[in-house]
Amino acid sequence: MFGIKSKQLDTSKYNNKAAFLFLLPWIIGVLLFTIWPMIQSLWLSFTDYSIYGSAKFIGLDNYKEMFFDDRMFKNSLIITLKYVIMFVPVKMVAALFVAILLNKKIRGMAIYRTIYYIPSIIGAGIAMAVTWKIVLSRDGFVNDILSIFGIGPFDFLTSPKMALGTLAIMGAWQFGSAMVVFLSALKQVPNELYEAGDIDGAGKIRKFFKITLPMISSNILFNLIMGIINAFQVFTQVSVITNGGPADSTYVYMLHLYRTAFESHRMGYSSALAWILTLIIFAFTVIIFWSSKKWVYYEN
Amino acid sequence: MKKRGVALLCIALLLISALVGCSKANTTNEANEGANKTETNKSSEIRFMWWGGETRHKATVGAVEIYKSINPNVVVETEYSGWDGYFDKLTTQLAANTGPDVVQMSYTNVAEYVAREQLMPLDDLIEKGIIDISNLSEATLDMYRIDGKLYAIPAGVSTSLLFYNKEYFDLAGIDYPTENWTWDDYMEAARKLTMDTDGDGKIDVWGTSYVEDPVGADLGFKKYLYERGGKLWSEDLKSIAFNTPEGLAAVEFIKKPLEEGIMPPLEITASNPQNVDDFQTKKVAMIINFSPMTQTYMSSDINFGIERTPKGLEKDAFWINPSMVYSVTKDCVNAKEAGKLIDFLINNEQAGDILALERGVPSNSVTRKRIAESLSDAEKLMFDCIEKSTSDDIVNEPFPAGYMEIHSLLKREFENMMYGKYNPQEFLDVVEKECNKILSKFYE
């Protein structure tokens, strides 16, 4: 009896050690390439560091400048909020809609699933952003098609009124990972619930709102938070396609941060900008988590 | 069994990585030894960095090869790339004290790098006769004298010119521009050249264009300001000097073609591919642009002519800017060798022939005269126009430290103004406040 017990204990200790050893490269990676730079950037945000020379401690001056003397800080924050408000719902609805379609039992479903996931694999790159720019230009493919119906041409990316919305929809095109999460959630909704709904005479729409949505609400929460985090940090597409223009209409927060750091070489100030963005994202996450008590349904 | 297989695989992977690690360590050791060996004659090793397109790379590498064949004991390493990211790379290298020795700088950002103590003054090298500046124009050199010391040697010069599409002039039935044109003539022609060429009731060719990139103080604005007697900066460079009636008149003059509808709507210009302007897409009949654009337009199928920019209404004013300059960085160990390379690039006959117009019209007046013989018709026209321009009143102002940031600010706010977010006076007020904030970081 004792022998067996002690042996069990030993293996669990051994397993812990082994697990730790296997995790070590990642732990070192996180400490060295995420945590340490974060601590450094926090320190830099209180200095006037400019790449050249050493950093001088200037207290809260960077933060003061941001709130009282940097109009682009306020402008870019408002533009980013607008982007988040457009991007997140579009992406969520698209992901859920396609997930529902892909949840049907049709032949060759694996192929469709792959096809809908492809944009998420290739979508984030520079090449894709450039392609979008060409497709949506005035003489581009989209305007060519619209002209058949006698509409347009639209200046999707070059009119200050449309550019931000176009970028948001373009970003939502990569709904693949959110879709996969929804799809797996949909598969786990017990069939009995729908059968019960049928017996009670619920229609398709009613079943969707009363059964499907509550049952996948925890996944909606997950996708919502991930979507908001991603949307606040939008950069690549904006930088490549519109570079903040036309007339500053797509001058998002990350672009402001990037230009401060790499055009003006104000590393201290841009670190402060980065930390404020972190706080904003954190605040949004907390608010959503807090509100989720009211609308997320956990089965147990 | 399965478990053992996995374990074996893991061990194998670990061993392989260890082996790879070892071999890497070996090579770095070898590299270190190699570096130690060359340490003894490192003094004659210099690194030269520039940006450009394919043809400039080829010409410059060719010139460096000639230099090496003349000076066999000197090792010249070349490091070249496109414009994008060039200064990010340079900044990073300089911050890490691993900058190149000789570096091609933009004509606008020398003061900024001097303010950050990254460049070396060249007066010593000139006094010792290593760099010969006797064939360069004093006016352009003066732009790079900061506190009495010279920090850059211009490689070429450029100015703004009027390019016009002959086809559209013929179609509209008006005479080509002449050197006696005034801005009134220019606007009059632009109105006539705004036309519907395919008869669908929509205008598809416009008279003039808004030049997207150098919209700030680099090009149009600066000239219009000088013509009205204005200036960009205060004498001490601490603040801007164009929030004045002259500045307002200059800005309104640039906006006028848009208001009159004789230039393409901004949405159309913005939808051009990157680095392609309305003149290349044949949407406009005339454009005022940098002289080096001649080569770009030559490589297209546009039948175009070149003329000097129209005469100012009140007075004539021209600027001649260096197109690019050479500097020596603070990381340079052997300034003498760096200076010799710059002198070769500027003054050597063979170098002049092979570099030709790759960095604008050569700054060396002797080289300029010599290669003028072998130019194509369009290039000759450009030469003539620059000669015509230089014979008039030249106004040159230095570019203050922080200019790169000011340039990008001006460009952005200019666009906002053109899109109607501000009126010209509001634009000047916004720009004055922001520019002075940037300048105050460098000039206390």
Q: Does A126 touch chain B (CB under 8 A)?
A: no
Residues B227 and B310 both lie in one domain = yes
Q: Using a CB-CB distance cutoff of 8 angstroms, which residues of chain A are in contact with residue B271?
A: 137-139, 155, 157-158
Tokens representing B1 are 């069994």
| Whether residue A5 has pLDDT greater than 60 | no
Out of A52, A134, A246, the one facing B270 most closely (by C-beta) is A246
Q: Using a CB-CB distance cutoff of 8 angstroms, which residues of chain A are in contact with residue B419?
A: 160, 246-247
pLDDT at A40: 92
Alpha-carbon span B106 to B190, nearest angstrom: 33
Q: Which residue of A has its CA nearest to B434?
A: A70
Q: Are strands B145-146 and B75-81 parallel, antiparallel or unpaired?
A: unpaired
Q: Using a CB-CB distance cutoff of 8 angstroms, which residues of chain B are in contact with residue A54?
A: none
DSSP state of A125: S
Out of B118, B266, B408, the one facing A246 most closely (by C-beta) is B266
Residues B186 and B317 both lie in one domain = yes
pLDDT tens-digit series, residues B386-439: 776 655 566 678 888 888 888 888 888 888 888 888 899 999 999 999 899 889
Residues B68 and B144 both lie in one domain = yes
pLDDT at B390: 59
Residues B60 and B171 both lie in one domain = no
Q: Does A64 touch chain B (CB under 8 A)?
A: no
Alpha-carbon span B357 to B379, nearest angstrom: 9
pLDDT at B14: 54
Alpha-carbon span B339 to B351, nearest angstrom: 15
Nearest CA-CA partner of B80 in B62, B96, B56: B56
Out of B94, B404, B419, the one facing A246 most closely (by C-beta) is B419
Q: How far is B201 from chain A (nearest CA, A)?
A: 16
More confident residue, B238 or B316: B238
Q: Using a CB-CB distance cutoff of 8 angstroms, which residues of chain B are in contact with residue A264?
A: 405, 438
Q: Using a CB-CB distance cutoff of 8 angstroms, which residues of chain A are in contact with residue B273?
A: 134
Q: Which residue of A has its CA nearest to B272?
A: A137
Out of B268, B271, B405, the one facing A264 most closely (by C-beta) is B405
Does residue B31 form part of some domain?
Answer: no
Does residue B335 form part of some domain?
Answer: yes
Cβ–Cβ below 8 Å for B267 and A137: no
Alpha-carbon span A243 to B203, nearest angstrom: 29
Residues with Cβ within 8 Å of residue A210, at least 6 apart in sequence: A197, A202
Q: Please confirm whether the linkage preceding A246 is cis (ω < 30° from 0).
A: yes
Map tokens 């030269």 to a residue: B48
Cβ–Cβ below 8 Å for B266 and A263: no
The domain that holds B354 is classified in CATH as 3.40.190.10
Residues B255 and B403 both lie in one domain = yes
Residues B256 and B279 both lie in one domain = yes
pLDDT at B11: 56
When pLDDT is cut at 50, 70 and 90, the band that residue B244 belongs to is: very high
* Structural domain total, chain B: 2
Residues B55 and B127 both lie in one domain = yes
Give the least confident one: A122-126, B23-27, B115-119, B317-321. Answer: B23-27
A64-295 is a CATH 3.40.640.10 domain: no
Give the least confident one: A132-136, B18-22, B77-81, B163-167. Answer: B18-22
Q: How far is A35 from chain B (nearest CA, A)?
A: 23
Q: Which residue of A has its CA nearest to B114?
A: A52
Residues B101 and B132 both lie in one domain = yes
| Whether residue A76 has pLDDT greater than 80 | yes
Q: Does A68 touch chain B (CB under 8 A)?
A: no
Q: Using a CB-CB distance cutoff of 8 angstroms, which residues of chain A are in contact with residue B117?
A: 52
> Is residue B274 classed as helix, strand or coil in its secondary structure?
coil
Does residue B21 form part of some domain?
Answer: no
| Whether residue B19 has pLDDT greater than 70 | no
Out of B116, B270, B437, the one facing A158 most closely (by C-beta) is B270
Q: How far is B413 from chain A (nearest CA, A)?
A: 8
When pLDDT is cut at 50, 70 and 90, the band that residue B268 belongs to is: confident
Out of A138, A157, A246, the one facing B415 most closely (by C-beta) is A246
Tokens representing A259 are 């230009």
Q: Does A276 touch chain B (CB under 8 A)?
A: no
Residues with Cβ within 8 Å of residue A224, at least 6 apart in sequence: A88, A92, A288
Q: How far is A86 from chain B (nearest CA, A)?
A: 23
Domain ranges of chain A: 64-295
Residues with Cβ within 8 Å of residue A125, at least 6 apart in sequence: A236
Give the least confident one: A106-115, A264-273, B280-289. Answer: A106-115
Q: Does A65 touch chain B (CB under 8 A)?
A: no
Out of B273, B419, B437, the one facing A247 most closely (by C-beta) is B419
Q: Are strands B102-106 and B324-328 parallel, antiparallel or unpaired?
A: antiparallel
pLDDT at A31: 93
Alpha-carbon span B398 to B387, nearest angstrom: 22
pLDDT tens-digit series, residues B309-364: 888 777 777 777 788 899 999 989 888 899 999 999 999 888 888 888 888 888 88
pLDDT at B41: 52
Residues A279-289 have a mean pLDDT of 94
ipTM above 0.85, yes or no: no
Does residue B388 form part of some domain?
Answer: no
pLDDT at B29: 41
Cβ–Cβ below 8 Å for B267 and A158: yes
pLDDT tens-digit series, residues B22-48: 444 444 444 444 444 444 455 578 999
Q: Does A51 touch chain B (CB under 8 A)?
A: yes
Residues with Cβ within 8 Å of residue B392, at least 6 apart in sequence: B316, B317, B318
Alpha-carbon span B377 to B383, nearest angstrom: 10
Alpha-carbon span A162 to A143, nearest angstrom: 14
Residues A95-105 have a mean pLDDT of 88
pLDDT, averaged across chain B: 82
Q: Using a CB-CB distance cutoff of 8 angstroms, which residues of chain B are in contact with residue A139?
A: 271
Does residue B267 form part of some domain?
Answer: yes
Domain residues for the domain of B80 are 43-156+322-376
| Whether residue A230 has pLDDT greater than 50 | yes
CA A93 to each of CA A181, B25, B348: distance values in angstroms, whole numbers, following the listed order = 13, 53, 67
Alpha-carbon span A214 to A225, nearest angstrom: 17
pLDDT at B83: 83
pLDDT at A206: 87
Residues B68-78 have a mean pLDDT of 90
When pLDDT is cut at 50, 70 and 90, the band that residue A280 belongs to is: very high
The H or E element containing residue B106 is: strand B102-106
Q: Using a CB-CB distance cutoff of 8 angstroms, which residues of chain B are in contact with residue A265?
A: 91
Q: How far is B194 from chain A (nearest CA, A)?
A: 20
Residues A117-133 have a mean pLDDT of 78
How many Cβ pairs within 8 Å bridge chains A and B? 56
Residues B427 and B282 both lie in one domain = yes
| Whether residue B18 has pLDDT greater than 50 | no
Q: Does A265 touch chain B (CB under 8 A)?
A: yes
Q: Does A54 touch chain B (CB under 8 A)?
A: no
When pLDDT is cut at 50, 70 and 90, the band that residue B105 belongs to is: very high
Cα–Cα–Cα angle for B336, B337, B341, rounded to 5 degrees: 120
Q: Find which of B65-79, B263-277, B308-322 is predicted with most confidence, using mean pLDDT.
A: B65-79
pLDDT, averaged across chain A: 86
Q: Please confirm whether the linkage preceding A153 is cis (ω < 30° from 0).
A: yes
pLDDT at B7: 61
More confident residue, B378 or B136: B136
Q: Does A152 touch chain B (CB under 8 A)?
A: no
Residues B201 and B300 both lie in one domain = yes
Cβ–Cβ below 8 Å for A247 and B421: yes
Does residue B199 form part of some domain?
Answer: yes
Q: Which residue of A has its CA nearest to B437?
A: A69
Q: Which residue of A has its CA nearest to B117?
A: A52
Residues B63 and B149 both lie in one domain = yes
Q: Are strands B156-158 and B160-165 parallel, antiparallel or unpaired?
A: unpaired
Residues B62-90 have a mean pLDDT of 90
| Whether residue A120 has pLDDT greater than 80 | no
Contact A99, A186 (CB under 8 A): yes
Q: Using a CB-CB distance cutoff of 8 angstroms, which residues of chain A are in contact with residue B267?
A: 138, 155, 158-159, 246
Residues B104-114 have a mean pLDDT of 89
Q: How far is B271 from chain A (nearest CA, A)?
A: 6
Nearest CA-CA partner of A77 in A221, A213, A279: A279
Cβ–Cβ below 8 Å for B416 and A138: no
User: B interface mutation test: which of A166, A248, A266, A270 has the most B CBs within 10 A?
Assistant: A248
Cβ–Cβ below 8 Å for B94 and A139: no
Out of B405, B408, B416, the one facing A247 most closely (by C-beta) is B416
Does residue B228 form part of some domain?
Answer: yes
Residues with Cβ within 8 Å of residue B242, at least 6 apart in sequence: B225, B230, B231, B232, B250, B428
| Whether residue B53 has pLDDT greater than 80 | yes
Q: Where are the alpha helices (DSSP H) in chain A?
A: 2-30, 36-44, 61-69, 71-102, 109-122, 126-135, 141-148, 163-172, 176-188, 191-199, 204-207, 213-215, 217-232, 236-237, 253-262, 267-295
Does residue B432 form part of some domain?
Answer: yes
Alpha-carbon span B293 to B270, nearest angstrom: 19
Residues B103 and B171 both lie in one domain = no
More confident residue, B214 or B150: B150
Residues B161-165 have a mean pLDDT of 89
